[in-house]
Structure 1
Amino acid sequence: MTVALRSPQLVGALIPVDNAPVDANLKDDFHKYVQGMRNIEQVQVKRQADADDILKKYEKALPIRQFLLTNLVRSSDGEHLRLRIPVKTLTLSLDKMGDFPFNDPDEVRYDGQTLIVRGTKSHYVADDVLPLIGRFFPMFKLIDIDSGHWVISERPEAFRQGAS
């Protein structure tokens, strides 16, 4: 959304997934995910299955764990898996991760096609922000999917059908 508002000529169409153009408080889940990733980093796991075993203590849902584990890459020495985005960086960024850099839709807007995909069990795109979304993104359409925040991981087929 930020790129579309800053440089609309670079964006042909936009599909924000369970995000709105507002500052949002991240759920506590994010802090526990970072703790799980910190443990993965400390153990220096060699297999993704070992990392998943560690994350099970922090998140029960397999699709969400799988999404979080996409951050794993092989270390330069090939001995273990490491996090693409260092845990320290994630930890320092958590407080600002839910911030949105624009707050006046009268100053900037994106007139291209925009499909807002919302997880109905998530709080990140509440009904009361829809008018604001319409001011920033006047061509927006809304699709609700019966999921939490991790829409693509939780309901990949519903997302694929809704976004096509």
Structure 2
Amino acid sequence: MVHVTFNQEPVTLVGSEIKVGDQAPNFTVLSNDLKEVTLDDYAGKVKLISVVPSVDTGVCSEQTRRFNEEADKLDNVQVLTISMDLPFAQARWCAANGIKNLDTLSDHRLADFGEKYGALIKELRLLSRSIFVVDSNNTVTYVEYVSEVTNFPDYDSALKAAKEAK
């Protein structure tokens, strides 16, 4: 069981914990133009899924900008940032921050991703900061549930896992 805190206070994660070696669950989220997007839409690619509570906060903003910068250096890797932000807010934030190398996706409608990946914070209806790398066969090759939501993830390990995944 994953133990996570938010501002040093324990929170409850809803859903099943994902582990390395698991088959990545399919999910439905919304793109910034309100179209449904699923894991299957990225078939044949390695997926680095960066999960943040809200792109409008400092750590989340920096995390998303960092993966946007790194995305250009990754071959056959699609970087996804998933949050509970409304698609309109994500689009506005991306435009204001020059984000063009990754897809921002919203889980606000169904919390489908959050529940299937064990990243939904029950008390806040936000997603817990986490990183998942899923290979081209949809096998999970890397997982990090950041133990304190306000902390940064391990960028180097996530990027290494994305580069090594096939």
Question: Taking structure 2 as the reference length, what is the TM-score of the superposition?
Answer: 0.27
Report which of the two structures shows the higher radius of gyration computed on alpha carbons: 1
Question: Taking structure 1 as the reference length, what is the TM-score of the superposition?
Answer: 0.27
More helix by share: 1
